[in-house]
């Protein structure tokens, strides 16, 4: 089962519990804006059964692919990447969150599933 996520609000509306705003020139904000998330999402959701209502909803493409992009750019392990995501509002914005979350969005073991995915929306594209 896959649930399509709504488009994310602009970075100006990202909610930080301690106040402040995200900077528009941050590399993760810039990259989030140029990524064709919507194009990738269409291909990705086709690989999930629309008829099945069983099981937990699939992780969104933006979280799955975005996490792998973060890991590749930072050169970190699964566990370390998840710590970076949990601690950094810019990374959370990049993954499509609308406000800072204080708990890890998934278990580090999910990286195995993200890497095994048959869907390669970036095939032939450099990021």
Q: What is the pLDDT of residue 124?
A: 42
What are the b/e assignments for 74-89, b being 16+ CB within 10 Å?
A: eeeebeebbebbeeeb
pTM recorded for the entire structure = 0.75
**Closest CA relative to residue 2, chosen from 47, 57, 41, 54:** 57
**Closest CA relative to residue 94, chosen from 70, 72, 71:** 70
Q: What is the pLDDT of residue 41?
A: 80
> Which residues have a Cβ under 8 Å from the Cβ of 8 and sit 6 or more positions away?
32, 93, 96, 97, 98
Q: What is the pLDDT of residue 6?
A: 58
Q: What is the pLDDT of residue 127?
A: 40
* Cβ pair 120, 77 in contact under 8 A: no
Residue ranges in the chain whose pLDDT is less than 70: 1-15, 17, 47-53, 117-127
């Amino acid at each position: 089962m896959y649930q399509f996520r709504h488009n994310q609000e602009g970075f100006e509306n990202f909610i930080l519990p301690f106040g402040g705003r995200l900077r528009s020139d941050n590399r993760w904000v810039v990259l989030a804006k140029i990524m064709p998330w919507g194009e990738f999402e269409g291909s990705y959701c086709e690989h999930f059964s629309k008829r099945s209502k069983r099981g937990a909803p699939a992780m969104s493409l933006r979280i799955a692919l975005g996490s792998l992009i973060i890991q590749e750019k930072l050169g970190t392990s699964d566990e370390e990447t998840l710590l970076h995501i949990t601690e950094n509002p810019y990374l959370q914005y990049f993954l499509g969150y609308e406000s800072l979350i204080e708990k890890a969005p998934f278990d580090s073991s999910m990286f195995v599933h993200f890497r095994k995915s048959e869907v390669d929306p970036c095939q032939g594209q450099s990021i």
